[in-house]
Amino acid sequence: MKQLTSYSWIVYLSSLFLFFTSCKTAKIIQSEEAAPALEIHTSDYLLTQLSDQRIAVDWVNAKAKITFKDGNQTQNVKATIRMRTDSLIWMNVKKLNVEGARILIDKDSVYIINRLEKEYYIKGLDYLEDTYNLPANFEALQTMILGNPYFFKDQQFNVSNSEEQYRLSSEKGTNTLSDYWLNGSDYELEQMSFLDLRNSRKLIVGYEDYQLLGPIKFSHHRKFKMQSEQTGDVEVIIDFTTVELDVPKSMPFSISSRYKRVD
């Protein structure tokens, strides 16, 4: 299993988000089954509910506590995350109130300053794909920060339900199987999972602690679990402590001439 040392796990966190490849409207079929505990709905109806709850803003400014766990280590850090939609994502990561890393991601590249080691990286998004065997896509990372559902192209869905949740499940026949769990009362997205059949990888994303930010409901607790032969079991937990939407913020990013570039 790949061991992640120093702040290299931050790159891996980015690759977790960048698991996805393309975001397009899913094809719809009618539901196959539904338990009587909840009102019966078609997959068309439930996907419309998910779409209606999508967050569409120009700016995100947030502070978060992040916990990273794998088979070798557990790390706890604090991060400031800023995003300008369709443009830039910026992160300032601190441990014990000392800045350890600063990250800037645009549609083509990832820039990482490792202040602990006095070095920096400049990589194309394909670096994440080459290093972690995960497709790189800025739009997908943006979608995951917002907490919106992500759909692969050319998928059809069946729907089933338990006493408290609706479940949308993609039909077999594609390289990736997708599942979405919705709260039975307000249709909030509570969990997504994606199974990459070709590469034996699985990503599970959980959303909890929805809070109102004006008219928008934003999940303040996120849990990402990934399983693959390359990485073993990896878990990243993000707890947002403060979130501002549509408040422009600066994204300072400069590299000291004393720092060494690492290829």
Residue 259 within any structural domain of the chain = no
Q: Is 32 helix (H, G, I), strand (E, B) or coil?
A: coil
Task: Please report the pLDDT score of residue 131 as a whole number.
Answer: 61
CA distances from 101 to 77, 91, 106, 243, 244 (A): 10, 8, 17, 21, 22
Residue 40 within any structural domain of the chain = yes
Residue 116 within any structural domain of the chain = yes
Task: Please report the pLDDT score of residue 176 as a whole number.
Answer: 85
Residue located via tokens 């878990």: 235
Tokens coding 178: 């997708």
Task: Please report the pLDDT score of residue 130 as a whole number.
Answer: 62
H-run or E-run covering 112: strand 109-114
What is the span of the domain harbouring residue 53? 8-250
Tokens coding 41: 């709905």
Residue 157 within any structural domain of the chain = yes
Sign of the torsion formed by the C-alpha atoms of 173, 161, 235 and 149: positive
**Residues in CB range of 140: below 8 A, 6 or more apart:** 17, 18, 19, 20, 21, 23, 150
Residue 200 within any structural domain of the chain = yes
Find residue 33's DSSP bridge partners. Answer: none
What's the structural domain count of the chain?
A: 1
Print pLDDT tens along the chain (263 aa). Answer: 444 444 444 555 554 444 433 333 344 444 445 444 688 899 999 999 999 999 999 999 999 999 989 888 898 999 999 999 999 999 999 988 889 999 999 988 989 999 989 999 898 877 766 665 555 678 878 888 999 998 887 788 999 988 899 999 998 877 889 999 999 999 999 999 999 888 788 889 999 999 999 999 999 999 999 888 877 888 999 999 999 999 999 999 999 999 999 97
CATH of the domain at 110: 2.50.20.10
Q: What is the pTM of this model?
A: 0.83
Tokens coding 238: 């993000």
Residue 139 within any structural domain of the chain = yes
Nearest to 105 by CA among 224, 246, 251, 239: 251
Residue 39 within any structural domain of the chain = yes
Q: How far is CA 82 from the centre of its chain?
A: 14
DSSP 123-184: EETHHHHHHHS----HHHHHHHHHT-----TT--EEEEE-SSEEEEEEPSSSSEEEEEEEET
